[in-house]
Amino acid sequence: MAVNVIMLGPPGAGKGTQAERVARTRGIPRISTGDILREAVHLGTPMGSNVKAVMDRGELVGDDVMIGIVTERLDRPDAERGFVLDGFPRTVAQAAALDALMADRDPLIVLDIVVPESELARRLGMRMICEDCGANAEGPTPMGHCLRCGGRLTQRTDDNGAVVLERFKIYQRATKPLVDFYHARPTFRSINGAQTADSVAAELAAAIEAFGNGRVNGTAGGRTR
């Protein structure tokens, strides 16, 4: 059975860190739409130029662009054994499109990382990104340099105070309805994200194991019957 995971949660919930852990442990790709878009911005591709202003304002990139990115990525051979989606879907329209893409695949495991808003604001205020390669810094780094390429770290433009507030508003309006879309499915679980990273990882792993061991009934192609 392929392990097809969606990580849900607001900005700063730790989706990226946990998605990377799950992907590494399971030997499946982590598909981060945010990383794909940031790389496009960094490289100055046509798509990157189109979405940069949208991302800098903390707004969501259009459904058509995001669905196209994910459709192409899931068609690659390395996603046949499963994947971890980080940053997609972010709207109900994207979720419906993903259901269609999953029609002939194993069910989606939907994990919603829940963190109080005050803690999210604190985390986002401390988050840094590499100016050279665009990678997010994971935890403390020596002398403020990227552990991947050695580039200088700076605050993300979408993590400043005013933009953070706008991102929370957008999440509440557009993305939080995904919880309502998914919560009745037997492969949905809420995860306490206000724990240590290791505790969150253990809870996520237990949920995935429970679903993978056949303790879930009535699903097909990511949709409940």
Beta strands, E only, the chain: 3-8, 30-32, 82-86, 108-114, 128-130, 153-155, 188-192, 219-220, 223-224
Domain span at residue 56 reads 3-116+178-224
32 has which bridge partners?
86
| Between 46 and 177, the higher pLDDT residue | 177
Nearest to 123 by CA among 136, 132, 134: 136
More confident: 17 or 134: 17
Chain-wide mean pLDDT for the chain? Answer: 82
Per-residue model confidence as pLDDT tens digits over 152-180: 877 655 555 566 777 778 778 877 889 99
**Token pair for 184:** 């009745």
Place of tokens 């029609």: 103
157 assigned to some structural domain? no
Higher-pLDDT residue of 62 and 118 is 62
Percentage of the residues of the chain whose pLDDT score is greater than 90: 41
In a domain, 89, yes or no: yes
Q: How confident is the model over 8-34, as a mean pLDDT?
A: 91
Active site residues: 15, 90, 127, 156, 167
| pLDDT mean over 51-60 | 80
pLDDT at 224: 37
Phi, psi of 87 (to 5 degrees): 100, 0
Domain of 44: which CATH number? 3.40.50.300
Which of 63-67, 76-80, 118-122, 210-214 shows the lowest per-residue confidence on average (mean pLDDT)?
210-214
Tens digit of pLDDT for each residue in 60-72? 788 988 998 899 8
Tell me whether residue 94 is in a domain.
Answer: yes
The verdict on residue 213 lying in a domain is yes
**Domain count for the chain:** 1
| pLDDT above 50: residue 221 | no
Which pLDDT tens digit goes with each residue over 75-114? 999 999 999 999 899 889 999 999 999 998 999 999 999 9
Residue 77 included in any domain: yes
Q: Is residue 63 part of a domain?
A: yes
Residue at 66 is within a domain? yes
Within a domain: 216: yes
Q: What is the pLDDT at residue 56? A: 79
